[in-house]
Each structure stands twice: as C-alpha cells, then as structure tokens.
Amino acid sequence: MTSPVSRLAIIGIGLIGSSIARAAKDHSACETICLYDGSADVRARAGEIGLGEIADTVTACVKDADLIILCTPVGVMGEIAEAMAPALKSGAIVSDVGSVKSAVQEAVAPHIPEGVHFIAGHPIAGTEKSGPDAGFASLFEGRWCIITPPDEHEDEASVQTLTKFWEALGSTVEVMSVSRHDRVLAITSHLPHLIAFNIVGTAHDLESVTEGEVVKFSAGGFRDFTRIAASDPVMWRDVFLNNKEAVLEMLGRFNEDLSALQRAIRWGDGEQLRSFFDRSRGIRKSIIDAGQDTADDDFGRGKPSSK
Amino acid sequence: MTSPVSRLAIIGIGLIGSSIARAAKDHSACETICLYDGSADVRARAGEIGLGEIADTVTACVKDADLIILCTPVGVMGEIAEAMAPALKSGAIVSDVGSVKSAVQEAVAPHIPEGVHFIAGHPIAGTEKSGPDAGFASLFEGRWCIITPPDEHEDEASVQTLTKFWEALGSTVEVMSVSRHDRVLAITSHLPHLIAFNIVGTAHDLESVTEGEVVKFSAGGFRDFTRIAASDPVMWRDVFLNNKEAVLEMLGRFNEDLSALQRAIRWGDGEQLRSFFDRSRGIRKSIIDAGQDTADDDFGRGKPSSK
C-alpha cells in the first residue's frame, strides 16, 4: 500500500504532534517526517527520541512537505502560518489539530498562498499529559477526527488525502462545518474543562478544608475532575479565548440550570432534584451503547461505534 | 483469627449493602449475616444471589445482631431506626454508610435505646451502579472509611469493634467529627456530583446541539461527567437535602470563581485564565503522589497511601 502522504511536516512537538509522528511512522502513513518546535529544548528532545528529522526553522521544516500539520496552541497558529507561507510548495495541504476551528480558519487561511490547500482538523483524542515524551502511537486508534473544510472549499482531493491520512492512523473521520464544530465541542469538551478547572481552583482556595483532606478523600468524585484539570494551561487558555461566543452561551445555560438546582437545595425541593438527576442516566446509557466508554478507559480514549 | 463481629445485620441491599455482605463473607468479618430491604423484589433477588439470611421485617433482621449497618438512602434512616429500636439487643452497635453524617446523627441517635451504641460511618467507595447485583467483595479494599463517633461518645470499645470490622474488609479507617466530615465531603464528593448532574442536564436540554452529537464526541471531556452523573438519583437527592448548609457554601464559592472565569473569557484576559489553570496541576500531582489515582482506575476506586 502506498502512503497517503509522501513528506509530512509537524509544527509543535507536544502530546499530539509527537503522537502523530509516532503513529505515522508505525502505520506508514508517510514516507518521511520533519518536525519543528519553537523551543530548542523540545527540538533536542524530539531528536533524542527519534521522532524524525528535526528542522531548525519553520521554513526549513515545511519546505518540500506535502502535508503540514500545525500542532501548536491555537493562539500562535496565525503567526506560524505567516512565517511558513513563503516556503510552502504548490499543491501542499496545510492542516492543524486545534480544539477550535472558526478562529483557526480566520487566523491561518489569509496567509495560505494560492495553490496550497488549508483544511482544518481536530482529532478528538488526548490525555491530560503534555510534551514530546507524553505522546504514543495508538492515541488516535478507534477515535474520531473531525475535518472542517472551508465552506467555499472545492478541492475534494485534498479532503480525501487528509481523510486517508487520519484513517491510516486508525481514526474515523467526520466532516462538518467550522461553526458546527465549535458549538458541539463547546458542550462536549470546552465547558467540561472549564468546570473542572474551576472546581479544582475552588477546592484549592478553601480555608475551611485543607488541601491534604481534599487529596485524601478525593476518590468521592473530586478526583475525576482533577484529571481533566491537569490538561495543558496554555492550550486551554487559547481555546477559551478563541471560542468565546459558544463557550459563553453554553456557560450561560449551565449557570441557569445550576441556579435552579441551588434553589431546589435551599428550599428542600426533593422532587425537583430527583427528576433532574433521573434524566442523567439516559445520556450515560447512550454513551455506553455507542461504545464511547469502557470501565478501564482512560480520559479521552473512547472508540467510535462505526465507520 | 476470630471475626470482629458475631452476627451482622444489613438494612438496605443496594450497591453498598450487598458489597458489605459479600466482603464480610469473603474476609470472615462476621459469623452470620442477615439482610433486609424494603422492596420484596430486592429481598428475593438477594436470596437468589445467596448474600445471607433474608428477613421479612426490619425487626426480625436486627434481632440478635451485634452490628447493624444501615445501607439505605439517608432520608429513610430515621424511620428505620425508630422501627428497629425495640428489637435491638443490649450492647449492639448500630452504624450506617450514608454520605452525610450530621443529618444521620440527628435522625437516628434519638431512637437508639440505652445500652446500644450508635457510631456513624462512611466508606469512601462506590461506583455509578446501583442494586444488589452491582455489589462486589473487593469494593472496600484499599479504600478509606470515615467513622464519626458522636462528640460525647465514651464507648471506645464500640469504635474499636467497628474499626476492626472495616479493616477486615480491607479499608483504612479515619475518625473525624460529623461536622468535619460534612464539610470535607461537600467539596470532595457532593459538589462534584452536583456539577456533573448539572452539566449533563444542560447538554440534554440544548436545542442547538443534538444528543447524538453529544454522545458521539463525548470523549472530549463530557463523558467523564456522565459517569458520575449516572449515580443513584434518590441517594443523591437525600445527600443534597441533608447537607444543605455545607453544599450551598461550597457552591457559593464555586459560583464566585466561575463568574471570574466567565468575565476573563468575555474580556479576553488570557493572563488570568492561564494563571488560574496553572494552579490545577499541583493538586492533581498531590493526588497521584498520594496513590489516590491510577491510569486504569475506576471512578471512586482510589487507594489510601498508608497502612
């Protein structure tokens, strides 16, 4: 089988970037790999691990590449796109793995030269760990990858190539619009992370319960939030700054519902509490039925149910 | 080794009650076990599984028992205590497994006859599943069990017996006051559950994102909340109704912090977001260092770090 891509360039060598390099090599999804990271230490480490060729500049990295994947925090993708633009080869595909898509489209697309195709993407995969050593080749196996071609997009061949690349890594590809992506992810990922960061911060600041007590008895439920809240702070800062509208809308709904629960607790309205809690079991059952959870599953490691 | 308890009575045969019966038998923590549940169907099922002798009334169940453990929702413990009081044998110990302790102390203690010792307890163990078939013998192994003797308590021998019983089931016992317990659990367990129930409800009610989309892309973080939110609705209704003051206090703090994050998102204050998110990693590290989490750990299955 020929590789879907000849030369792959990865910009940003963290959990996702290093996992793509490992997976692409394992699955022969490309013939050669070149990587670049803004940090000299990370570049050196990536070389030691043997993730691929390491370039000293972003332009050297993308030169001759057929597929370039931006794996940096969303906030710096615009300036990287601008820097690499002159070195991009005609016919190349530029993609990314950012958790927000409208903002990436706006930041990156204007810098993409004619003859180069920008097709944004988002693998729904990750762990709470960061850095080049945190990656592993099986991260994308059995996972969804969302591809969001621009609305006016006409280069179906590029979408096909990117789809084949992610499928080679073991993922199932879903195509949707950038705005749809940002609304869906606001509720399935961004709001849960915000809530998790928040409750961990609340616990940290309490005077009446010590951090030692919180840690000791965290198995009562709190612990599950700390896992999510250990995710990369810079990445998540950029997510919230760049999907503001959808996150604030979901947060508004969340706050309304929480006020109703708060009122029910204050006034001892057991009927309302119970009927609210009863509904939660249905959605849980749907997630299990869809194969999106297993008992020993790590955070963010679900499996799509079908292709 | 002699069993810490001769005859054990379990009232309420759900996840916890049936797990105690299984664990007590496996670890010879008692010589005989008698169980009772308000539901005839549950009693019949418990008999089929072979959890122990099944009594048809609460008084028949507690007669001759040395240790009686109430494993029902907190809201009905008072009336059960009243019903069983006349049948309790002198010198017996009455305990419970409720997630709140002040309210249980107030509801149960007035019904306990002279010569019988009431020592409340709370094993920090559980899963999101319910019912007699959901229990398993190893549920309490390597887990904390909090025992909350009344402040004026003087029967140290009863505390010792109850401690030995839980240690026989594999738990590590921590003694604290009822009020301390309720504050610590409000942040480590009750608020996380309330937040999880709430976000699942919010997602359920959205018009702009379908439930199918939420389920499909739940691996982005949302899924972890649905596991907690699948816990027993009646049990949790009673927890919130009976630990109102501490839960509302923690919820007030949570809301203040969330308003600050909401404002930072609205005004694009990346510095504030990042510094808030940075702090969350420390508490996560403490939990891992304390052995309260492992990668393949099921919800609520942490291990105490010592003993």
The whole-angstrom separation of Cα A46 and Cα A22 is: 11
Q: In this predicted structure, what is the pLDDT of residue B291? A: 72
Residue A30: strand pairing partners: A5
Least confident of A59-63, A230-234, B30-34, B49-53: A230-234
Nearest Cβ partner for B219 among A253, A286, A292: A292
Q: Do the chains contact at A187 and B195, CB–CB below 8 Å?
A: no
- Chain A's closest residue to B145, CA to CA, is A217
Place of tokens 């401690």: B163
Q: Using a CB-CB distance cutoff of 8 angstroms, which residues of chain B are in contact with residue A225?
A: 192, 195, 224
Q: In this predicted structure, what is the pLDDT of residue B126? A: 87
ipTM: 0.86
Q: Do the chains contact at B217 and A300, CB–CB below 8 Å?
A: no
Q: In this predicted structure, what is the pLDDT of residue B300? A: 35
Place of tokens 């604290």: B176
Residue A307 has pLDDT above 90, yes or no: no
The whole-angstrom separation of Cα B96 and Cα B71 is: 6
Question: Residue B173: phi, psi to the nearest 5?
Answer: -95, 135
Q: Do the chains contact at A215 and B187, CB–CB below 8 Å?
A: no
The whole-angstrom separation of Cα B126 and Cα A151 is: 48
The whole-angstrom distance between A97's CA and the closest CA on chain B is 13
Q: Do the chains contact at A194 and B261, CB–CB below 8 Å?
A: yes
For chain A, list the domains and their CATH numbers: 5-176 (3.40.50.720), 180-267 (1.10.3660.10)
Could you tell me if A128 lies within 8 Å of chain B, comparing CB atoms? yes
* DSSP character at residue B98: -
Q: Using a CB-CB distance cutoff of 8 angstroms, which residues of chain A are in contact with residue B293?
A: 218, 223, 226-227
Q: Mind listing the pLDDT tens digit for each residue in B130-188?
A: 999 999 999 999 999 999 998 766 689 999 999 999 999 999 999 999 999 999 999 99
Provide the chain A residues 26-65 that lie in CB contact (below 8 A) with chain B: none
Q: In this predicted structure, what is the pLDDT of residue B295? A: 38
Q: Mind listing the pLDDT tens digit for each residue in A199-226?
A: 999 998 888 898 889 988 988 889 989 9
- Inter-residue contact B232 to A232 (CB < 8 Å): no
Between vectors from CA A175 to CA A172 and to CA A179, what angle results, nearest 5°? 130
Provide the chain A residues 242-281 that lie in CB contact (below 8 A) with chain B: 244, 247-248, 250-251, 253-255, 257-258, 261-262, 265-266, 268, 270, 273-274, 276-281
Residue A262 has pLDDT above 90, yes or no: yes
Residue B296 has pLDDT above 60, yes or no: no
The whole-angstrom separation of Cα B127 and Cα A220 is: 10
Buried b (16+ CB within 10 A) or exposed e, A24-55: bbebebbebbbbbbeeeebbebbeeeebbebb
pTM of this structure = 0.88
Q: In this predicted structure, what is the pLDDT of residue A45? A: 97
Q: Do the chains contact at A202 and B284, CB–CB below 8 Å?
A: no
**Helix H or strand E segment including A141:** none
The whole-angstrom separation of Cα B162 and Cα A194 is: 41
- Chain A's closest residue to B284, CA to CA, is A226
What integer is the mean pLDDT of A31-43? Answer: 98
